[in-house]
Amino acid sequence: MHFDVIILGSGPGGYVASIRSSQLGMKTALIEKESLGGVCLNWGCIPTKSLLNSAKILQSIKKNGKLFGIKKDQIKIDYSQIVNKSRNVVEKMRKGISFLMKKNGIHVIHGNAILKKEKKIEIFQEEKNLGEYSASHIVISTGAFPKIEDKFQYDGKKVITYKEALSLSSLPKKMIIIGSGSIGLEFAYFYHSMGTDITIIEICTKLFPNGDDEISDYLKSSFERMGIKIYTSSSISSIRKKNSNNGIIVEMKSSVGNVVLETDIVLYAIGIIPNIRHIGLEEIGIQIEKGFILVDENYRTNIDGYYAIGDVIQTPSLAHVASHEAINCIENIKGLNCQKIDYNNVPKCVYSSPEIASVGYTEKESKEKGFQIKVAKFPFSALGRAISDENTNGFVKVIFDAKYDEWLGCHMIGNNVTDLISEVVVARKLEATSYEIIGTIHPHPSLSEAILESVSNAYGRSIHL
């Protein structure tokens, strides 16, 4: 069977590409070896947010229940129900994508795809060969899988990745999390809220290594106040099972010397690897560099008719990035004049508590690039909405170019900042200066006022600080 477009992988890149392809009138097929939605929907973005929402509700009641007139003497955690709820959300979303495939007339094929020359694909279900398909254009969107070093004895039970962490059969008393990117931070907050003793080990000098320094420092202090133990500038020497009580012994080298810790479970959260093995890239001759497929600005590989988007290419490994790359890739195939993605204007979010959201350059990066900058912050503790919500942790930080008033970056930490960041993304997209932001009326009371106040503060015009 021949199609105009065949897409490999049904994550936020693949299923969006298939829908846009169908919208543009192209005969489209989507190949997925597991469940529709990919890692993001089934084992990442969606189920983790359900778990985190449960944790935030629990912590809010524990911390502020009395203030809001809510009695909290008999609070009990039904961990299995929390996990079941997250899986039900996944199932609902999965059915939604299945509906969209049918609505848009997309031919969904379940199986393992092997790329062939001349834009052909062979598909297998276990040992069964389902035959060969061809297309005028093939888009590779196969996502990524967890990065883990073999020497640390990953077994999916005592040494686990995010996938197992989403549905543990019972709550561990102790957990060590290796890595403090978004995955590590979100699971640290969730399991700590459930009552697990959490230790984070990070090889870099600061928690949340890619964040602005002040954000990272504030997050570290916030986590430590919760009771989460943190080791930065630390590397793992060994992970081994303890025979006496089925525990795990973790040895590491840290800034305070060699440290030995005992835990019930180790969660490996040090990143992901592009899922491009065993799909036939070598046979076709598609170029790979440092484990990523090489593409041009239109997501074309070096072989005509083959494209790649999402986690398999060297752009930010984020669901919303993959979705936009999908749309651009398909529109380029159709010959449309679409807008190029500005990868410096991609919002990056962590959904722990406090939440983190950022876009653009950090203060350090701005200085390294030679900008003369104006920097200012506004704390949520000075904001009426945050005070009324009894959630005053965090701040909004803005960075402007002093010469041209360009908005170089914005970094937030606090309640609901993952929603607030979109205003900044749009403003930067439209090349708004501080003048436009200060002249824009923000609703009162709202958390968004922190953006207005921080920008005003950079120019000595903050009213409430």
Q: How confident is the model at residue 419 (pLDDT cuts 50, 70, 90)?
A: very high
| pLDDT value for 244 | 65
For residues 213-229, average pLDDT: 97
- Tell me the pTM: 0.94
Q: What is the pLDDT of residue 28?
A: 98
Q: Is the pLDDT of residue 406 over 90?
A: yes
Mean pLDDT of 158-182: 95
Considering the chain, what is the average pLDDT of its residues? Answer: 94
Q: Does the annotation mark 2 as catalytic?
A: no
Higher pLDDT, 243 or 139: 139
At 122-133, the pLDDT tens digits run: 999 887 888 999
Residue among 107, 137, 324, 444 flagged as catalytic = 444
Share of the chain above pLDDT 70, in %: 99
What are φ and ψ of residue 83, in 5° steps?
A: -70, -45
Instruction: Assess whether pLDDT exceeds 80 at residue 265.
Output: yes
Residues recorded for the chain: 465
Q: What is the pLDDT of residues 279-326, one digit of tens each?
A: 999 999 999 999 999 999 999 999 999 999 999 999 999 999 999 999
Longest pairwise C-alpha distance within the chain: 69
Please report which confidence band the pLDDT of residue 391 belongs to, taking 50, 70 and 90 as the band edges: very high
Of the candidate ranges 142-156, 192-206, 415-429, the one whose mean pLDDT is the lowest: 142-156
Backbone phi, then psi, for 227, in 5-degree steps? 110, 5
Tokens of 228: 């989460």
Taken in order of first residue, the domains within the chain and their CATH numbers are 2-146+273-343 (3.50.50.60), 150-270 (3.50.50.60), 354-458 (3.30.390.30)
For residue 72, the model assigns a pLDDT of 66
For 53-94, the pLDDT digits (tens) are 999 999 888 877 777 777 767 788 899 999 999 999 999 999
Q: What percent of the chain has pLDDT over 90?
A: 88
Q: Whose CA is closest to 298, among 334, 347, 348?
A: 334
